[in-house]
């Protein structure tokens, strides 16, 4: 009986050692499963975030829903139900932006606003666009898509828009029409 139990023990030992050495360390592959999934890392509701730089408030972003894809190689945050943003200039004047949809790219500090974008400046000028980008680092707004820009005395159509956050350098690109408004 000792020989039989010795053979059994030997077989179990050989089997266990074989299993132990044949297993790979798949921890990194298991971690990638979450990256490859199309699901967001987290979902948040009723977002209210403030962006500051050097202690100065630069913008406030509100949204009913945020999808966090920070688990991706090129991390981003998606706002599928739209955003409501307030931008502050150097004199703390507020300009207001709304859009049906937005994406914030983490690495580039770029906000991509899409769908019925309306920007009301502190000067009471209004920009209407299908898409508008806001570079948070450079504090610059821009698009190369069709726009309408209404000032107190003009309605300007064009294919693009560029402006600093203070709207001192706001300009419509490739102007296709100007209507002078009477007071």
Give the pLDDT confidence of 93-121 residue by residue, as tens digits.
999 999 999 999 989 989 999 999 999 99
CB 141 within 8 A of CB 132: yes
Short-list 131, 122, 103, 111, CA closest to 170: 122
Residue bearing the bigger pLDDT, 148 or 36: 148
Q: Is residue 2 over pLDDT 80? A: no
What pLDDT sits at residue 146? Answer: 97
Q: Is residue 127 over pLDDT 90? A: yes
Residue 181: DSSP 8-state: P
Q: Catalogue all structural domains in the chain, each as residue range(s) with its CATH number.
A: 40-180 (2.60.450.10)
pLDDT tens column, 62-97: 999 999 999 888 999 999 999 999 988 888 999 999
Residues 60 and 88: their CA atoms lie apart, in Å, by 9
pLDDT tens column, 7-47: 555 555 555 555 555 555 555 554 555 555 678 999 999 99
CB 95 within 8 A of CB 121: yes
CB 117 within 8 A of CB 133: no
């Amino acid at each position: 009986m000792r020989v039989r139990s010795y053979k059994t023990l030997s077989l179990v030992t050989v089997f266990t050692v074989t299993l132990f050495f044949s297993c790979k360390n798949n921890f990194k592959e298991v971690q990638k499963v979450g990256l490859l999934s199309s699901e967001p890392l987290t979902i948040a509701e009723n977002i209210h975030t403030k962006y500051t730089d050097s202690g100065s408030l630069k913008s406030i972003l509100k949204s009913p829903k945020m999808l966090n894809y920070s688990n991706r190689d090129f991390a981003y945050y998606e706002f599928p139900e739209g955003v409501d943003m307030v931008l502050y200039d150097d004199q703390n004047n507020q300009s207001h932006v709304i859009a049906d949809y937005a994406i914030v790219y983490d690495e580039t500090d770029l906000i991509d606003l899409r769908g019925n974008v309306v920007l009301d400046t502190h000067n009471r000028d209004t920009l209407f666009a299908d898409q508008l980008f806001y570079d948070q680092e450079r504090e610059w707004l821009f698009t190369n898509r069709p726009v309408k820009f209404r000032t107190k005395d003009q309605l300007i159509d064009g294919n693009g828009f560029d402006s600093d956050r203070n709207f001192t350098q706001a300009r419509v690109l490739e102007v296709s029409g100007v209507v002078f408004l009477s007071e």
